[in-house]
Structure 1
Amino acid sequence: MKAYVFPGQGAQFSGMGKDLYEHNETAKSLFEQANAILKFRISDIMFGGGDEELKQTKVTQPAIFLHSVILAKTSPEFNPDMVAGHSLGEFSALVANGTLAFEDGLKLVYQRALAMQEACEINPSGMAAILGLEDAKVEEICAAIEGETVVPANYNCPGQLVISGSNKGIEIACEKMKEAGAKRALPLPVGGAFHSPLMEPAREKLQKAIEATIFHQPNCPVYQNVSTRGITDVEEIKKNLIAQLTAPVKWTQSVQQMVADGALEFIECGPGKVLQGLVKKIHREAEVSSI
């Protein structure tokens, strides 16, 4: 069985999608449709913008979504048995399996990006990557920190867990992680505490947008970050998508479940090859590639 996986924020690069635009009429049409929906030419920033422009949340998230979805829509071999996306990538996965229309997915991603940016401004906060420590120990240390918000945010692969929280909480946690034997406790260059309770203002705004959007019956299961199970029930998909902003991304557990359910091949659909590396670390016998 083939599992198609879609990357999240951080996979962007200057020039992403340019070849698609120049050599595929369907891709060109979708990029122009996106420019009209967003009311700015995101394609110009994707194809020729600098790193700083691409790092803007209002650009980064829809840019990665567009690159991923348009790759899927223009790939003749795209025929998934199951899909999953890392954080933002879950929206790409839901368009790829027919749950969301292209334009609705793009609108939700853009609203999500703006809501997350506002939440970051309300609560100055951040994230840090913890390497070489058992998940249970990271969870224990986070839970023991008093007076500050700090939680596990991204279960990326065994030995790599990203934490999220207030700036002070992250600082305290990193010191305690090192004391507990972490190989590295590295603050990340992000603008906020994604997938933590500090994203509650964004979750409330996104919930209204999701509830106002039409969701269709998917043509294959989506393994969502919150539940890690293959889901086809539309109401459950919506509920998990709303919860995702303040809940951890359980990527390790999702990949393990996809393997248990029969996934033999993982194909990354989007910019970069980050997920290929994570899948290989989670399940070393998996066949991984990209389109």
Structure 2
Amino acid sequence: MKGYVFPGQGAQFSGMGKDLYDNSEKAKELFNKANEILGFDITKIMFEGTDEELKQTKVTQPAIFLHSTILAAVLGDAFQPDMVAGHSLGELSALVANKTLAFEDGLKLVYKRALAMQEACEKEPSTMAAILGLEDDVVEAICEEVDGVVVAANYNCPGQLVISGAVEAIDKACELATEKGAKRALKLPVGGAFHSPLMEPAREELAKAIAATEFSTPICPVYQNVTANAVSNPDEIKENLIAQLTAPVRWTQTMQQMIADGCEEIVEVGPGKVLQGLFKKVDRKFPTSSAAI
């Protein structure tokens, strides 16, 4: 069984998607359609933009989504997933790839999500930090010990958990993690506390947009961030997608569940190789590769 996985924010790079645009008429058509839907020339930023321009949430999220979904579309008959999953934003890419969402609807939701998250970030100074080398339960206990908003946000792989919350609470949690023997407690260059209660205003915004969007029965199950389980019911997929903004990304559990359910190979669709690296942390010998035309 083959699983396809789709990366989230942080995988972007200048020049992303240009090879697809140059070598495929279908890709060119989809990129041009994306520019129309968004109302600005995102392809120009993707192909020629600076790292600074690409780092803006309202650019980053649709850019990664476009790279992933257009690559999956261009693969054509070679794209035969038995299961899909996406890390955070990547879950929306996965839902277009497995035909739950139409490309246009997926892009509109991604852009709405990006703008809503950007707005939520501006309401309160907040951030995220990666804690390396501690057991998950130790990091969870540290979060509970600290005053203020700080929660486990991304269970990336064994020994790597990202926390999210108010700046002061994150600083205190990093201090405690270092005292308890963390190899590193590193604040991340992000604009806000994604996958935490501070994203509640964005969750409410996105919930309205998701409620108004048609979700179809997928061609294969999606392993969703909120539950780490395979889901095929469109209503359940909607609920989990809404919950995702304020709930943790259970990627460690997702990888373990996909393997337990019979996945024998992973193909990463989109920029970078981050997710392949995380699968290797679960099982060093697990076969992984990047999708390519």
TM-score band (shorter)? over 0.9
Q: CA deviation at 1:85?
A: 0.1
Q: CA deviation at 1:123?
A: 1.5
One-letter amino acid matched to 1:129: A
Q: CA deviation at 1:40?
A: 0.4
Task: Please tell me whether the aligned partners of residues 156 and 278 of structure 1 are also in contact (alpha carbons under 8 angstroms).
Answer: yes
User: What's 2:257 paired with?
Assistant: 257
Measured in 2, the distance between the counterparts of 1:160 and 1:82 equals 24
User: What's 1:139 paired with?
Assistant: 140
Q: SS in structure 2 opposite 1:191?
A: coil
User: What's 1:207 paired with?
Assistant: 207
Q: CA deviation at 1:144?
A: 1.1
Show structure 1 runs of 5+ residues with no match.
Answer: none
The percentage of aligned residue pairs carrying the same residue is: 71
User: What's 1:235 paired with?
Assistant: 235
Q: CA deviation at 1:238?
A: 0.2
Measured in 1, the distance between the counterparts of 2:279 and 2:210 equals 29
Show structure 1 runs of 4+ deviating over 3 A.
Answer: none
Q: CA deviation at 1:124?
A: 1.1
Residue 221 of structure 1 pairs with residue 198 of structure 2: no
Measured in 2, the distance between the counterparts of 1:91 and 1:66 equals 10
User: What's 2:40 paired with?
Assistant: 40
Measured in 2, the distance between the counterparts of 1:3 and 1:194 equals 26
Q: CA RMSD in A?
A: 0.6
Measured in 1, the distance between the counterparts of 2:16 and 2:73 equals 16
Task: Please tell me whether the aligned partners of residues 35 and 42 of structure 1 are also in contact (alpha carbons under 8 angstroms).
Answer: yes
Residue 97 of structure 1 pairs with residue 103 of structure 2: no
Measured in 1, the distance between the counterparts of 2:225 and 2:216 equals 19
One-letter amino acid matched to 1:255: M
Q: CA deviation at 1:284?
A: 2.4
Q: CA deviation at 1:50?
A: 0.6
Q: CA deviation at 1:145?
A: 1.0
Taking structure 2 as the reference length, the TM-score comes to 0.98
Measured in 2, the distance between the counterparts of 1:264 and 1:143 equals 37
Residues 64-75 of structure 1 correspond to what in structure 2 (within 5 A)?
64-75=64-75
User: What's 2:49 paired with?
Assistant: 49
One-letter amino acid matched to 2:165: G
Task: Please tell me whether the aligned partners of residues 217 and 233 of structure 1 are also in contact (alpha carbons under 8 angstroms).
Answer: yes
One-letter amino acid matched to 2:14: S
Show structure 2 runs of 5+ residues with no match.
Answer: none
One-letter amino acid matched to 1:140: A
One-letter amino acid matched to 1:133: L
One-letter amino acid matched to 1:101: A
Measured in 2, the distance between the counterparts of 1:97 and 1:271 equals 18
Taking structure 1 as the reference length, the TM-score comes to 0.99
Residues 183-202 of structure 1 correspond to what in structure 2 (within 5 A)?
183-202=183-202
Q: How many positions carry a matched residue from both structures?
A: 290
Q: SS in structure 1 opposite 2:216?
A: coil
Q: Deviations over 1:92-126 (max 9, x none)?
A: 00000000000000000000000000000012100
Task: Please tell me whether the aligned partners of residues 256 and 283 of structure 1 are also in contact (alpha carbons under 8 angstroms).
Answer: no
